C-alpha cells in the first residue's frame, strides 16, 4: 500500500440509473483505514456507488477525492475462459519475466525488474484463500465459480491497494471461503468498502452506510448496531402505522357520533315545528342555528378525517420504506413420517459418490460441503432432472426444485403467463388469486419477468411451484437467497419457516438455516 492513511472523501454525490431514476443524492462520506459495509435493497445503487468510488463511473453530481491506488472486485463480472490463474491474479507479466530469467533469455535491464520474492507471496496469498498448491498456469475455465472468486481475492492481497472495494464477495463461496473472506477483512491494513447482504460478514465491519429510498443512513457502531437500529426503525414504523389506523377509526367513529347527535337535534326541531306549539320566528331561528352547527360540524369532521388520512398515508409510506413484505405458502397437510425421497449408493454423472439421503415429512435438512462436492448435483438428481451414473432413487412424494437463478421462469413472459405454464388448467381468476397470495396484485401480474428484482423472482418461482393443482410436499432449494437483498432474504425466511412442507436446502447462510428450522445436516466431503 502506497499510503499510511486512506483518504476517501465524497461530497454531495448523486447517481441516477439508466432510465433516469434517482438512486441517491447528497451523499457525504469520509473513509480512513477502516472497514465500511454498504447495504440497501436490490436496485438502491450499491454497485453504482462502488463504481463511482473506483472511478469506473461518474456521479450525476458532487465531487470525490479518492486514494491513488483503488481496486474494485466485482464478483458478478464474467471471466474470459482463455485466462490462466496468473492472469486472474494480475501477475502474468512478472511471472513471465521470472520464467525468462530462469531460461537465460533476459537482458540486464529486465533482470533489474525481477521480483524474486513474488512466487512466495503468490503461494502465501493462494494458501490464505484456501487454494494451496494451485498451479498458476492452470486455465481459469477449469475452476469453479467459488474458486474464481477466491482467486480474485488472492489477487487483491497481492495488489495491496490503498482502498479495496468488494461487491458481494461471499456469493458462491462455501463455508471455508466465507471464513477466508472474514480473515481478509480482519487483517486488511487499508481502507475497505464491502457491498453485501451477508449478515455474518457485516457484523465484523466497523461502520455501515445504508442506502434507503430517499435517504442515506450512517451507522457508526458496526454491523450489530445497524441491525439493531434497523429493527428499531421497522418496529417504530409498524407502531406508527397501528396508531394511524386507530386514529382514523376513532375519527370516523367520532364523526359518525357527532352526525347522529345533530340528526337527533334536527329531528326534535322538526317535531316542534309539526306540533306548532312554538312561534315560527323562534323555530326559524333554531333551524338556522342547527344548520350552521351542522355545517361547522361537517367541516370540522372533514378536517379531522383529512388529517387522519394524511397521517395514515405517511405511516404507510414509512412502513413501505422500512418494512418487508410478508407472504405465506399454501399448506400441504403433509403427514408426519410420510416418505418423500430415498437415495441410495448414488454416483453422479461426473463420478462423485453421494451419501445416502432419505426424507420424510416434514423434515428440514441442510446440505453442506465445499464448492464442487456435488451439492447441486444431489438436488438435481433428487428432483429427477439429472440421471445418476449408478444407484437407486425413489420419489414417493411430490418434489420440486428451486435453483438460485429461478431458471423455471421464462424472462420474456409476464408473471401471469409464467404461472399459466405451470398451472395450465387454472382459469385467469384462479391464477391471479395465486399471484395475489405471493403479493403480485392487479396489474403487477402483467409485469415482464425479466424486470423483476431477485426477491420478486423467488416469489414468482414459488408461486409457480406451489400454485400447481398438486403442489410439492418437498422443496429442494439451491442457495435461494444468494442474489437477494436482506429484506427479501428475511421475507423468504419467514415464509419457509411457517410452511408445513419438507425442505432440503443448500445454503451457507447460517442464519437462514437457523430461522427455517433445519433439524439435520448432511455434509458432503471434498
> According to the model, what pLDDT value does residue 415 have?
95
Report yes or no on 499 lying in a domain: yes
Q: Indicate if 303 and 363 belong to the same structural domain.
A: no
For residue 402, list its beta bridge partners: 477
Whether residue 330 lies inside any domain: the answer is no
Q: Find out whether 44 and 24 touch, Cβ atoms under 8 Å.
A: yes
Binned average pLDDT, 10 residues per bin, the chain of 526 residues: 70 90 92 92 89 94 93 72 88 90 83 89 92 91 83 92 92 84 89 92 90 85 82 78 80 78 67 61 61 64 75 65 74 93 96 96 93 91 96 96 89 95 92 92 92 86 90 94 84 92 93 94 92
Q: pLDDT (tens digit, 9 = 90+) per residue, 269-320?
A: 666 556 666 666 665 566 666 556 656 666 776 777 778 777 767 666 665 5
* Residues 371 and 273 grouped into a single domain: no
One domain for residues 166 and 261? no
Residues 216 and 236 in one domain: no
Torsional class of 345: left (φ above 0), alpha (ψ -120 to 50), beta (otherwise): left
Residue identified by cell 445497524 is: 226
Give the residue from 164, 199, 229 where a domain finishes.
Answer: 229
In a domain, 328, yes or no: no
C-alpha 506, offset from chain centre: 17
Assess if residue 144 is contained within a domain.
yes
Q: Is residue 38 part of a domain?
A: yes
Which H/E stretch holds residue 420? helix 415-422
Mutual orientation of helices 428-437 and 415-422 as an angle, nearest 10°? 110
d(CA 241, CA 369) in angstroms, rounded, equals 44
3 within some domain: no
Residue 333 lies in a domain: no
Clarify whether residues 207 and 294 are in a common domain: no
Same domain, 177 and 191: yes
What CATH number should be reported for the domain holding residue 106? 3.40.50.300
- The answer as to whether 306 is a domain residue is yes
Tell which of 162, 196, 229 closes a domain: 229
Q: How many CA atoms lie within 13 A of 428 on its CB side?
A: 5
State which residues form the domain around 512.
338-523
My answer on whether 311 and 389 are in the same domain is: no
Q: How far is C-alpha 289 from the geometric centre of its chain's CA atoms?
A: 62
Considering the domain architecture, whether residues 192 and 242 belong to the same structural domain is answered as no
Round to whole Å and give the CA distance between 373 and 384.
19
**Is residue 69 within 8 Å of 1, Cβ to Cβ?**
yes
Please say whether the beta carbons of 397 and 341 come within 8 A: yes
428 shares a domain with 288: no
Residue 3: what pLDDT? 46
Side-chain-facing half-sphere of 79: CA atoms under 13 Å: 25
Q: What is the pTM of this model?
A: 0.77
Of 229, 251, 276, the position where a domain reaches its end is 229
368 and 267, same domain (yes or no): no
Give every CB contact of residue 448 below 8 A, 6+ residues apart in sequence. Answer: 411, 412, 413, 414
Contact 244, 311 (CB under 8 A): yes
Statement to judge: residues 86 and 202 lie in one domain: yes
CA 471 from centre of chain: 26
Handedness of CA 103, 105, 108, 109 (dihedral sign): negative
| pLDDT of the residue at 237 | 76
Count of C-beta atoms within a 10 Å radius of residue 76: 10
Number of H helices, E strands in the chain: 16, 17
In contact, 324 and 456? CB cutoff 8 Å = no
Number of domains in the chain: 3
Q: What are phi and psi of 97, to 5 degrees?
A: -65, -40
Three-state SS for 114? Answer: coil
Biggest CA-to-CA distance, the chain: 129
Q: What is the pLDDT of residues 459-473, one digit of tens each?
A: 999 999 998 888 999
CA dist 246 and 257 (Å) reads: 16
Residues 223 and 318 in one domain: no
Amino acid at each position: 500500500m502506497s499510503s499510511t492513511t486512506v483518504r476517501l472523501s465524497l461530497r454531495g454525490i448523486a447517481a441516477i440509473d439508466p432510465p433516469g431514476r434517482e438512486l441517491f443524492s447528497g451523499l457525504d462520506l469520509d473513509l480512513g483505514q477502516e472497514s465500511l459495509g454498504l447495504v440497501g435493497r436490490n436496485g438502491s445503487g450499491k454497485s453504482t456507488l462502488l463504481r463511482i468510488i473506483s472511478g469506473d463511473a461518474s456521479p450525476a453530481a458532487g465531487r470525490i477525492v479518492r486514494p491513488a491506488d483503488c481496486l474494485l472486485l466485482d464478483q458478478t463480472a464474467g471471466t474470459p475462459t482463455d485466462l490462466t490463474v496468473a492472469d486472474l491474479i494480475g501477475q502474468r507479466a512478472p511471472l513471465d519475466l521470472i520464467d525468462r530469467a530462469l531460461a537465460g533469455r533476459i537482458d540486464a535491464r529486465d533482470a533489474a525488474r525481477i521480483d524474486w520474492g513474488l512466487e512466495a507471496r503468490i503461494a502465501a496469498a493462494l494458501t490464505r484463500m484456501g487454494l494451496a498448491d494451485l498451479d498458476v498456469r492452470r486455465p481459469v475455465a477449469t475452476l469453479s465459480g467459488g474458486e474464481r472468486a477466491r482467486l480474485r481475492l488472492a489477487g487483491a492481497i497481492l495488489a495491496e491497494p490503498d482502498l479495496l472495494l468488494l461487491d458481494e464477495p461471499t456469493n458462491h463461496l462455501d463455508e471455508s471461503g466465507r471464513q477466508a473472506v472474514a480473515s481478509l477483512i480482519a487483517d486488511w491494513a487499508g481502507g475497505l468498502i464491502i457491498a453485501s447482504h451477508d449478515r455474518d460478514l457485516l457484523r465484523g465491519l466497523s461502520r455501515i452506510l445504508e442506502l434507503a429510498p430517499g435517504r442515506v443512513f450512517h451507522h457508526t457502531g458496526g454491523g450489530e448496531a445497524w441491525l439493531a437500529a434497523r429493527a428499531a426503525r421497522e418496529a417504530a414504523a409498524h407502531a406508527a402505522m397501528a396508531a394511524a389506523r386507530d386514529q382514523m377509526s376513532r375519527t370516523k367513529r367520532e364523526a359518525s357520533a357527532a352526525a347522529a347527535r345533530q340528526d337527533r337535534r334536527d329531528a326534535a326541531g322538526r317535531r316542534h315545528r309539526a306540533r306548532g306549539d312554538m312561534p315560527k320566528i323562534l323555530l326559524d331561528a333554531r333551524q338556522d342555528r342547527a344548520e350552521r352547527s351542522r355545517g361547522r360540524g361537517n367541516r370540522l369532521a372533514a378536517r379531522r378525517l383529512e388529517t387522519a388520512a394524511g397521517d395514515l398515508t405517511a405511516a404507510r409510506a414509512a412502513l413501505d420504506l422500512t418494512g418487508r413484505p410478508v407472504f405465506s405458502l399454501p399448506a400441504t397437510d403433509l403427514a408426519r413420517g410420510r416418505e418423500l425421497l430415498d437415495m441410495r449408493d448414488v454416483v453422479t454423472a461426473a463420478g462423485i459418490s453421494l451419501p445416502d439421503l432419505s426424507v420424510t415429512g416434514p423434515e428440514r435438512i441442510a446440505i453442506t460441503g465445499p464448492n464442487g462436492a456435488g451439492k447441486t448435483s444431489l438436488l438435481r438428481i433428487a428432483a429427477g432432472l439429472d440421471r445418476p451414473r449408478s444407484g437407486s432413487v425413489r420419489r414417493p412424494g411430490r418434489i420440486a426444485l428451486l435453483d438460485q437463478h429461478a431458471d423455471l421462469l421464462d424472462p420474456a413472459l409476464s408473471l401471469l403467463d409464467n404461472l399459466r405454464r405451470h398451472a395450465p388448467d387454472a382459469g385467469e381468476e384462479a391464477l391471479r388469486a395465486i399471484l395475489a397470495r405471493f403479493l403480485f396484485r392487479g396489474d403487477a401480474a402483467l409485469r415482464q419477468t425479466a424486470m423483476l428484482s431477485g426477491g420478486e423472482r423467488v416469489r414468482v418461482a414459488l408461486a409457480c411451484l406451489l400454485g400447481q393443482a398438486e403442489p410439492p410436499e418437498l422443496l429442494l432449494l439451491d442457495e435461494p437467497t444468494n442474489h437477494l437483498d436482506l429484506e427479501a432474504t428475511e421475507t423468504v425466511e419467514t415464509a419457509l419457516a411457517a410452511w408445513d412442507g419438507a425442505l432440503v436446502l443448500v445454503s451457507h447462510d447460517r442464519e437462514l438455516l437457523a430461522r427455517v428450522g433445519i433439524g439435520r445436516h448432511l455434509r458432503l466431503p471434498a
